[in-house]
Structure 1
């Protein structure tokens, strides 16, 4: 695995990942769709929020433990599901082990490079993520497999809509790591000898199949084979989401909500929780950062379901800002992928430690001893920061907004 050297910030982990990964692999992780407006706003929006710290009376101890989506966790941070973690040979298993070591729940993508059985064995607090893809029978089989493996919840992702490529160029991702591909990519890989050596020691190339989408008696589909199936499946309706909730019969999180009316419909569909998200800026470009939509959504449905925030979280102070605006927890994606790239399991643990340290130091500065005590009073929100559904519906209140979208 190589020797991991401690880094003090997620930004340093990203720099190390950039130096370690082949250029095309790094670019695949880097940024969002089209011009990258949404990706940039996901990060910039947190910088617009401020704190009003106290200077005397800081609590001597801080309590970060909480419950989210029915799971007791050590801090309000969760691993967001991301596909094909071929930046490291151990991929999602390394991430799951790191999360378990730090008392954090794991989200596993349907497009993951490791099977759910191995990931749950590494972290019993694993949520399985699904897209609406294929026919209902195949989706039920995937749910049955996740349930049998011990997944504690299901995450349905709906915030990805086949957006166009990136203005600066999308990297070409191969269909499979066959001999031709390996020969073609060898020059790029050899420029990153440490990364290349990691995989060389395993005796196998980076895994680009999707083992969690395997049907009985068939080999695991390639990433693009699975991607094509998803693209050919008509998008789900709210009745389809309600059907998924019923079929799963347990903790169910809808990922990708960005509007108050959609949050209300999610409640009607019977979900356990939602993640306010825009797929890390990889969905429709020019949608606002989730932190801008969070407060209105949490104020409307936060007393009925758990509300999480996913998008742009890079430090512990970002987590505190999200909690102050109504989130129960935050999900991290690129942050832990930088850690995985830079140092495998130890690198992911490092990222989680950095974020935990940031939460604690921020809580000390604002005079909060428990994450449940963090409130709107702890943050400074500039005028015009929020991007709620519509001014009329939000100002009318949750009841009126609900009536306006019912039926």
Structure 2
């Protein structure tokens, strides 16, 4: 079989064919009915383009910047947890991203140490969950800073809604002999996946080395998640505290409402990701792209806005940028590429997106991706979801008298 594939859909088909059922199930899973994960993709099909038939032609420039980092195209690797689809995991993804000139997002629950990943891609953002004590958080941020992370991704858009109508994927707590016997029927019928691990001399790593604190051993997958589930959720003062602790840009991931976007600005973040955690959070949350335009209008002139969720084609990237995103984060798409063909498979997926972006720019007669605007996209009536707009307006009205009083008193 030719290792090259032409579409992200083909990468997904090959991943499904190669991976054990439970591993593939973990990649495609969405919470409960899967309404949100479905809408993340469906929403892009409702958007159209308004192409020109004449205008500037020649080489298109896809480059942009995100939180001080140069991007060869408006795409970034979204952090995802333990990547048991390939022995090289996050290191292979980081190398692929570096080879294609884009930043890497590394999960707290990654299977590879942050030091190894940053060595593969110096433009790496470390993702932080609000997990454990503040002392633990400071230690993890200190390790990320010492390793050379260029930014922090504070992920708050997950409430661990793990129930799924079609059955939750089975993830073992550890790979002991009993577990291997239990999962043997799945792995034996996927010999190529198994042989990849056998050749590497390792088994899928279900520990989270970046969650270790105070010199302790890396916790297991469920140990790390258990700590996170047992930690009371943060408030906006906690978000502000994170920004104060981290000497660099903080991207807040999980914003889907205008009032939250405005509070994020007040808390001091440098950017927000409009995201519903890929459909793995609260099912029934609208597609990220539906919430993007109104959020970009509200805060896009104050902080950088990116989109996460449902990207499968280069044209999806162009639609998101036209509607106000500086760049997009991709998750499942690169994991399918990793499963299909390791680092080369991730590079393949990125090349597919780059080609699709270029085609869309050509059709729209744009020479630079930064020239995209709302006029390039056909948005049907009723497409957008303006969440938290009334609350944001009420907050502004409530704070206005106090601000006027301060001004009149000469405080400002």
TM-score by length of 1: 0.96
Distance 2:85 2:41 in 1: 23
Match of 2:260 among 241, 259, 262: 262
Distance 2:308 2:290 in 1: 12
Conserved 8 A contact 1:275-1:308: yes
Indicate the residue corresponding to 2:396 in structure 1.
403
- Structure 2 residue matching 1:327: 3-state secondary structure: coil
Match of 1:108 among 106, 121, 130: 106
Indicate the residue corresponding to 2:353 in structure 1.
355
Indicate the residue corresponding to 2:239 in structure 1.
241
- Structure 1 residue matching 2:306: 3-state secondary structure: strand
Counterpart mapping for 1:267-286 below 5 A = 267-286=265-284
Indicate the residue corresponding to 1:140 in structure 2.
138
- Relative distance call for 1:405 and 1:147 in structure 2 (3 A) is farther
- Structure 2 residue matching 1:356: 3-state secondary structure: helix
Counterpart mapping for 1:251-400 below 5 A = 251-390=249-388, 392=390, 400=393
Match of 1:70 among 65, 68, 71: 68
TM-score by length of 2: 0.95
Distance 1:138 1:233 in 2: 12
- Structure 2 residue matching 1:104: 3-state secondary structure: coil
Match of 2:129 among 123, 128, 131: 131
Indicate the residue corresponding to 1:44 in structure 2.
42
Match of 1:191 among 189, 199, 203: 189
Indicate the residue corresponding to 2:405 in structure 1.
none
- Structure 2 residue matching 1:174: 3-state secondary structure: coil
Distance 2:143 2:259 in 1: 32
Identify unmatched segments of 5+ residues in structure 1: none
Shift of 1:208: 0.4
Distance 1:255 1:100 in 2: 22
Conserved 8 A contact 1:274-1:305: yes
Distance 2:366 2:89 in 1: 36
- Relative distance call for 1:196 and 1:135 in structure 2 (3 A) is same
Identify unmatched segments of 5+ residues in structure 2: 403-412
Distance 1:202 1:284 in 2: 38
RMSD: 1.4
Off by >6 Å, runs of 4+ in structure 1: none
Alignment: residue pair count: 400
